[in-house]
Amino acid sequence: MKLSTKGRYGLRAMIDLARYSEEEPVSISNIAARQGISERYLEQLVALMKKAGLVKSIRGASGGYVLAKSAGEISVGDVLRSLEGSLEPVKCAAFYSDNGCMSAGGCVTKYVWQKINDSINETVDHMMLDELVRESKKLNPCGEPEVQECEA
Amino acid sequence: MKLSTKGRYGLRAMIDLARYSEEEPVSISNIAARQGISERYLEQLVALMKKAGLVKSIRGASGGYVLAKSAGEISVGDVLRSLEGSLEPVKCAAFYSDNGCMSAGGCVTKYVWQKINDSINETVDHMMLDELVRESKKLNPCGEPEVQECEA
DNA sequence: TGTAAATCCTAGTAAAATAGTGGGAATTAA
DNA sequence: TTAATTCCCACTATTTTACTAGGATTTACA
């Protein structure tokens, strides 16, 4: 049940992007430097978020990325799902239908997975990016590069 | 954020075990047959649950496994954690301490991971095995082998 | 108009994790 | 004694992860 580096780096990058792209587009190399993430790898993560409609790109010199909508309209869930795919703990074909996989019409554990899924989504869909940006400004007012001692 | 087969098979096995071990110990091969899981693999999963104090073993012929406590005292969380380790989405060293990993005393995303962690635990720790056993009896009253069409 | 800074796109790859399989010893009921 | 069972440890194929690499394309600016 671990989030991969995609989700971990991606959310950090997105908070960074939201924080620093208000005046001008932010480049991958900028984010990568501040967050201590490989440029080439981050490139791929941002591409996923672009595909999901969370960020817009401006090509060419002095280009970069900006949010595609306001930070208040982008949830942690949007970000994580764009990178990790669905957050559901078990990929169950019969998840949203009644005809389950067992003889008598549904497997027991399905309801467990669904409950976990619901609670994860409930949580991540109610945390918006603007909140985290405010928090980031409080914790790191001057925008120093973030030292990573833990691997989150 | 996917549960591995350990968690998925393990919970199914545990519900099966809880359901069928009321009168006599249930063997691995019994559970494996009913649940369509490899015996050798299931053996290893049950060993983890034994180590966690969720089941007791009776060795020798006509031996098998029984619950170490009543089904009402074993939560889905107990089972999943015994198999998967911690369910937290990110393994953060500074999780339960205040001195975080960033210069200014904590990283922003830590709070996100903690919220997700809390909501998962809240959910799995309030679902007890006895509930699921009752559900299992409703869905499959005669204890037929469970046909797996989905991979949950 | 050239150059540097950027995004964009695709492919490759080492390391780690997953999902098992396999052999065989120890225990115990019948 | 035998068969059924748990127990323990080692091995392995496959998949996933976490990148690296190369190079094409776009564009601001001198």
User: Which of B44, B41, B31 lies closest to B145 in space, CA to CA?
Assistant: B31
DSSP character at residue A71: G
pLDDT at B36 over 50: yes
- B146 CB neighbours in chain A (<8 A) are 102-103, 107
Rounded-to-integer distance, Cα B35 and Cα B38, Å: 9
Whole-number distance in Å between A5 CA and C15 C1':
15
Tens-place pLDDT, residues B104-150? 446 899 999 999 999 999 999 999 999 999 999 999 998 888 866 56
Q: How far apart are CA B104 and CA A149, in angstroms?
A: 13
Structure tokens at A15: 């908070």
Rounded Cα distance between B77 and B52, Å, is 12
Is the Cβ–Cβ distance between A33 and A145 less than 8 Å? yes
Tally Cβ neighbours within 10 Å of residue B47.
Answer: 13
Residue B147, Ramachandran bin (φ over 0: left; ψ between -120 and 50: alpha; else beta) = beta
A149: chain B residues, CB-CB within 8 Å: 93-94, 101
Q: Is residue B100 predicted with pLDDT exceeding 60?
A: no
Q: Which of residues 72-101 of B touch A (CB under 8 A)?
A: 76, 80, 84, 87-94, 100-101
- Helix or strand or coil: residue A151? coil
Assign A43 a pLDDT band (cuts: 50, 70, 90): very high
Residues linked to residue A152 through DSSP beta bridges, in sequence order = none
What HEC string does chain B produce? CCCCHHHHHHHHHHHHHHHHCCCCCECHHHHHHHHCCCHHHHHHHHHHHHHCCCEEEECCCCCEEEECCCHHHCEHHHHHHHHHCCCCCCCCCCCCCCCCCCCCCCCHHHHHHHHHHHHHHHHHCCCEHHHHHHHHHHHCCCCCCCCCCCCC
Q: Per residue in A115-150, pLDDT tens?
A: 999 999 999 999 999 999 999 999 999 888 887 656
Please give the average per-residue pLDDT across B12-39, as a whole number. Answer: 97
Instruction: Write out chain A residues lying below 8 Å of B112, CB-based.
Output: 11, 76, 124, 127, 132
pLDDT band at A114, cuts 50/70/90? very high
pLDDT at A103 over 50: no
Backbone phi, then psi, for A43, in 5-degree steps?
A: -50, -45
pTM: 0.94
Residue at minimum CA to C1' distance from nucleotide C3: A61
From the CA of B33 to the C1' of C15: give the distance in Å. 36
Pair B146, A107: CB distance under 8 Å: yes
* Whole-number pLDDT of residue B17: 98
- pLDDT beyond 90 at A100: no
